[in-house]
Amino acid sequence: MNRRSLSHVLTGTRIRERRLALSRRQADVARAAGISPAYLNLIEHNRRPVGPELVQRLAKVLEVPSDELAEGREEARIATLREAVARLADDGPDAAPELDQAPEFLARFPGWAAALVALARRSEALERQLVTLSDRMTQDPYLLTTLHEVLSAVTSVRSTASILAEESEVPDEWRHRFRANLDEDSLRLSNTAQALVAYLDSFEADGAIFTPQEEVEAWMAAGTPSIEAARDLASDAGRLLARTHLARLDEETAALPDAVLAPAAREEGDPLRIAARLGCPLDLVMRRLAALRPPGFERAGLLVCDGSGALTLRRPAPGFPLPRPGDACPLWPLYQALGAPQTAISHVVVTPEDRRFSTLSFATRSQPAGIGGPVLSRAQMLILPGDGAAASPASAAIPIGSSCRICPRADCAARREPSILLAR
């Protein structure tokens, strides 16, 4: 049966169903519609085509909106119904509906058909949501780490509390230790749960602040107001990070005061020359330039990462693309610097939106625990909008993005996962 004849069957069947539902005789309806009873009989048995004008007349006589009888609407409904039924049929051999009878089913039981379609659509929407959440659960390092923290703390609390409640004659030394452990774990659980709730809340609103690091970034963007009064610092972890940040800023300001840095920045412009002139480490000069933002550096941003590449400070320059924590573009010169410590690396980078930034990256290594302790790496990248001061004029622009998942560059050699912007 071809498409055209299928739609006629539908229309004819629906006209007949409607007429019978109103208990009207074929002859009466035919007369009211201006056609012969024999012709209506042929239509109702799907043996004659029915044009849109006649459908309108019949609809008026049968007291229904004309689109209830129209071909296009029926075809669309049939297609939707077939699709819905096909999806449900994927569930197993027991679900094997008679697809060829979908038109008849729709015509005879429009309410059931509509319910079936609505159910299939809801199922599809829930599947999409599940995939999105599953992606987040399995790929989001922050969520994985936080959930692991919660489980670890709960495990410790459960085992320890059981010992105190159930074991007889626990020696005092152990009893005191277990009480201290419980106190420590309950605090840890409280902080982690708080951060987790804030994070999960953010699932509802794309772009919302949800990690302690992002709380600190929002707080910095607001001009570092008093920590106690800052609305952006919602979690204990966020407030702790903010305090640590302030303490480091104070130390660095003491080491390189504004009154010393500002004139040197104005006269030299180049961060390496500023560092040489002042006899200061380059990484200190870069951080202070991003914090003070003297003339020539008013729109400076700064990214800092540890040896694993995780961003520990994100103070973006206007328009520079920043991903969620843990998912940055591997082509950022920041990461080149990790492989070449103590070497200043300058590059112009260009975003997918064709915004250009000059960058200066520099990495350091240290052994704060002394000889034999772990070697800690840290890299930082000073970012200035445009092709200006921080980059060497001869450097070629590096095409960068935010993170692979939302980057539209199809031919990127550094891609580590497909982009949702390039799918199909």
Between 86 and 187, CB nearer to another protein: 187
Q: With beta carbons less than 8 A apart as the criterion, state whether 56 and 66 touch.
A: yes
Q: Pick one of 26, 41, 123, 152: the residue that binds another protein (CB under 8 A).
A: 152
Choices 119-127, 173-181, 300-308, 414-422 (CB under 8 A): range interacting with another protein: 173-181
Between 99 and 180, CB nearer to another protein: 180
Between 166 and 354, CB nearer to another protein: 166
Place of tokens 């320059």: 317
Residue 17 main-chain phi, psi, to 5 deg: -60, -40
Q: Pick one of 44, 74, 185, 214: the residue that binds another protein (CB under 8 A).
A: 185
Contacts of 150 (CB under 8 A, 6+ apart): 189, 192, 193, 196
Between 108 and 158, CB nearer to another protein: 158
Does the protein bind another protein through residue 193 (CB under 8 A)? no
Does the protein bind another protein through residue 154 (CB under 8 A)? yes
Q: How far is the CB of 195 from another protein (least distance, A)?
A: 17
Choices 127-135, 150-158, 227-235, 295-303 (CB under 8 A): range interacting with another protein: 150-158
Between 5 and 162, CB nearer to another protein: 162
Choices 29-37, 158-166, 218-226, 355-363 (CB under 8 A): range interacting with another protein: 158-166
Residue 306 main-chain phi, psi, to 5 deg: -95, -175
Does the protein bind another protein through residue 167 (CB under 8 A)? yes
Does the protein bind another protein through residue 60 (CB under 8 A)? no
CA distance to 219, 283, 403, per residue, from 234 (Å):
10, 30, 26
Q: Pick one of 163, 218, 240, 278: the residue that binds another protein (CB under 8 A).
A: 163
The CA angle 25-31-37, to the nearest 5 degrees, is 65
Residue 87 main-chain phi, psi, to 5 deg: -65, -45
Q: Pick one of 129, 134, 139, 155: the residue that binds another protein (CB under 8 A).
A: 155
Query: What are the percentages of helix, strand and coil residues in the chain, rounded to 5?
Result: 55, 10, 35
Between 191 and 419, CB nearer to another protein: 191
The tokens for 365 are 């290594």
Q: Pick one of 32, 88, 144, 398: the residue that binds another protein (CB under 8 A).
A: 144
| Max CA distance (Å), the chain | 105
Q: How far is the CB of 320 from another protein (least distance, A)?
A: 32
Does the protein bind another protein through residue 419 (CB under 8 A)? no
Does the protein bind another protein through residue 148 (CB under 8 A)? yes
Q: How far is the CB of 212 from another protein (least distance, A)?
A: 20
Q: How far is the CB of 131 from another protein (least distance, A)?
A: 17
DSSP conformational letter for 345: E
Does the protein bind another protein through residue 228 (CB under 8 A)? no
Q: Pick one of 5, 129, 162, 190: the residue that binds another protein (CB under 8 A).
A: 162
Q: With beta carbons less than 8 A apart as the criterion, state whether 385 and 319 touch.
A: yes
For another protein (CB under 8 A), the number of binding residues is 23
The CA angle 209-211-214, to the nearest 5 degrees, is 60
**DSSP 3-state of 328:** coil
Choices 122-130, 180-188, 359-367, 385-393 (CB under 8 A): range interacting with another protein: 180-188
Residue 55 main-chain phi, psi, to 5 deg: -60, -40
Contacts of 146 (CB under 8 A, 6+ apart): 192, 195, 196, 199
Q: How far is the CB of 169 from another protein (least distance, A)?
A: 10
DSSP conformational letter for 363: E
- Per residue in 70-98, is it b (16+ CB within 10 Å) or e — as a string? bbebbbebbebbbebbebbeeeeeeeebe
Choices 157-165, 330-338, 383-391, 407-415 (CB under 8 A): range interacting with another protein: 157-165
Q: How far is the CB of 278 from another protein (least distance, A)?
A: 39
Q: How far is the CB of 339 from another protein (least distance, A)?
A: 21
Does the protein bind another protein through residue 156 (CB under 8 A)? yes
Contacts of 338 (CB under 8 A, 6+ apart): 305, 307, 309, 363, 377, 379
Does the protein bind another protein through residue 191 (CB under 8 A)? no
Quote the radius of gyration of the chain (alpha carbons, Å).
34
**DSSP 3-state of 384:** strand
Phi-psi region of 226 (alpha: psi -120 to 50; beta: other; left: phi over 0): beta
Which residue ranges make up the site for another protein (CB under 8 A)? 144, 147-148, 151-152, 154-160, 162-163, 166-167, 170, 174, 177-178, 181, 184-185
